[in-house]
Chain A
Amino acid sequence: MNHFVTVLAVVSTVLVLVPLVAILGYLIYKGASSLNLAFFTHVPAPVGEAGGGMANAIVGSGVILGLASLIGVPVGIAAGVYLAEYGHGTHLGNLVRFTADVLNGVPAIVMGISVYALIVAMQHHFSGFAGGVALAIMMVPTITRTTEEMLATVPHAIREAALGLGIPKWRTVMSISLRTASPGIITGCMLAFARVAGETAPLLFTAFGNQFWSFNLNEPIAALPLQIYVYAVSPYDEWHRLAWAGALVLIVMIMTAVTLVRIFANRGALKGGH
């Protein structure tokens, strides 16, 4: 029985690593052979024409993610600060913590239709702004919980020393607690960013996608994951090729973020109290 379980565990681990290697390998193989300079410099070509790229989608993703971070990061960190420094152990704090977990579990597609009903239906048109808001809401719970956990690792003695010197609480939080925990908080923000960077479902009915250049947040805007989806389910070989290239670019972006976080974290950035 003992050996049986050992063998079973080893076999399953290998079995699980197979799809991972298959997905990444196939992605690199198909994606790299389809990548060229035009992919980064051209907008999508009309159906039937060869060539074209996803330059507008890459820029569009950048715009939407920038807006999402601009809204999501401050709100998420502030809520985390509240949970760790003000609402620790109170009923209100527990309620907020629970709602953050609930929000974390809301399916992306439901977030999409909610933001559609809240913003798009009011404005009567799709917009990059609505897409950014949808992604921002998805970032908040992750950032809040990481911030709270990281602040909890800051030793109390440091805070007490600051307060004992007569430094006001807000200054203590900003310059002592947040500063000490900042590497961990940055890690949390990067993870939240990496998570929403690949989201498609919330953008379907908000940012909507666009075949042309668009920098206006008040208009439909292209996004890399949306473009990959549209091209993947299309019947054209040329579009499939571009979808693979887009997927490779997207995954390289996300993996870079995750790996950086990993290195950053292992380098002792998280040494705080662990």
Chain B
Amino acid sequence: MIQSGFVKLPEMAVPPEDDGPVAELVPAPAAAPSPIRAFLHQRSAGRWADGAFGGLMLVCALSIFAIVLLIVFVLVKNSQLSIHAFGWKFFTGSSWDPVSGDFGALPFIYGTVLSSVLAVAMAVPLSLCVAIFLLEICPRPLRTPIAFLTELLAAIPSVVYGLWAVFVLVPLMRDQVGPVLEKWLGWTGLFAEPNFGVGMLTASVILAIMIFPVISSISRDVMKAVPIHQREAALALGATRWEMLRMSVLRNSRLGIVGAVILGLGRALGETMAVTMVIGNHPEISKNLFAPGYTLASVIANEFSEATGDLYLSALIEIGLALFLVTIVVNAIARLLVWAVTRGESVRAV
């Protein structure tokens, strides 16, 4: 019809106006062997398959729940010896002496908390600036490559970070950064000789690099979730870009940003390999950041396979239990905060 649009068609037949007889309803032949009917018939025979399939899916889903319960059970059961021997004093005692069987976890708790908090303190301002840059300032063509590059940081394995830190970061901290810090901030007592390069500060720096992608990508998701009207309203009132960011974006997403930060903290608390390789592995509590330290995760990594005696092993497993409980609480808080802001919108799994 379309092709012959220009050709005048000879006398188009005009359909008659009258209704004509209503099409008769022809009853379907009683037992037509249609494929659908045959399929439906088979279906009743295969009904058990539905139940079995659903059951299998349920079992797999429940296995996740079971695994978590099993982890808790195993950790609690195997740390009984140490829990009974030391009680709460385990977490306040500061001597770690496998020879005389005296175990206190305070130096490790101190090392874990201090290195993680320092790492978060270093990573948060940078992460937020990068998130803002990518979301609001970055020219569009650069946005994807830079986001991709920052996410590559998350894909580098912990042991490779450790390798780099041992051979590049440690000498850098020892020879370049350390002396400068000591010269200008030595009076605080936080940066005092001797500085061997391995120690609390180096561990915190490598941790900061490692948790940066987590905080940055989640806070970007959270900021993205702020409705565009909020931004437009601020701009329409004559706000500059920074005022708009502060008034509408940061204010509305602050809960989620806190969540992202806590999620990064949870990551830092449990990080093992890179920290073990550069923190110096010496259980002491010192306010000097150049001094070597020890963390909960790295004492397990270093001493677990060499632990002699049941009490020693049990004490190490109790440290694992403590680490497990702390990271779960920290992660649960973070998830709830992020979830409250994005309201179930998908946040990338990290």
Residues of A that sit less than 8 Å from B by CB? 1-2, 4-6, 8-13, 15-17, 19-20, 22-24, 26-27, 30, 74-75, 78-79, 81-83, 85-87, 92-93, 95-96, 98-114, 116-118, 137, 140-142, 144-146, 149, 165-170, 173-174, 188, 191, 194-195, 197-201, 204-205, 208, 225, 228-229, 232-233, 240, 243-244, 247, 250-251, 254-255, 258, 262
Contacts and interface: CB of A to CB of B under 8 A. Distances in A.
B157 A225 contact: yes
Contact of B157 (A11, A109, A173, A199): A199
Nearest to A227: B159
Contacts of A102: 68, 328, 331-332
B331 A204 contact: no
B196 interface: no
B75 A117 contact: yes
27 contacts: A2-B241, A2-B242, A2-B243, A5-B241, A9-B129, A9-B130, A9-B137, A13-B130, A20-B150, A22-B164, A23-B156, A26-B168, A78-B59, A78-B60, A79-B61, A79-B63, A107-B297, A108-B272, A109-B297, A113-B316, A144-B61, A149-B346, A168-B47, A188-B349, A232-B162, A233-B277, A247-B160
Contact of A86 (B58, B161, B335): B58
A115 to B, nearest CB: 9
A11 B43 CA distance: 65
Contacts of B130: 9, 12-13, 16
Interface stretch (B19-27, B284-292, B298-306): B298-306
B332 A110 contact: no
B39 interface: yes
Contact of B328 (A15, A106, A144, A233): A106
Contact of B65 (A9, A99, A168, A255): A99
Interface in B100-148: 125-126, 129-130, 132-134, 137-138, 146, 148
Contact of A105 (B54, B57, B149, B266): B266
Given A199-B158, A247-B159, 4 more contacts: A17-B149, A24-B152, A102-B331, A110-B323
B242 to A, nearest CB: 4
B317 interface: yes
B235 interface: no
Nearest to A96: B61
A2 to B, nearest CB: 4
Given A101-B331, A106-B71, A149-B346, A10 B164 contact: no
A45 B156 CA distance: 27
Contacts of A243: 163
B333 to A, nearest CB: 11
B159 A232 contact: yes
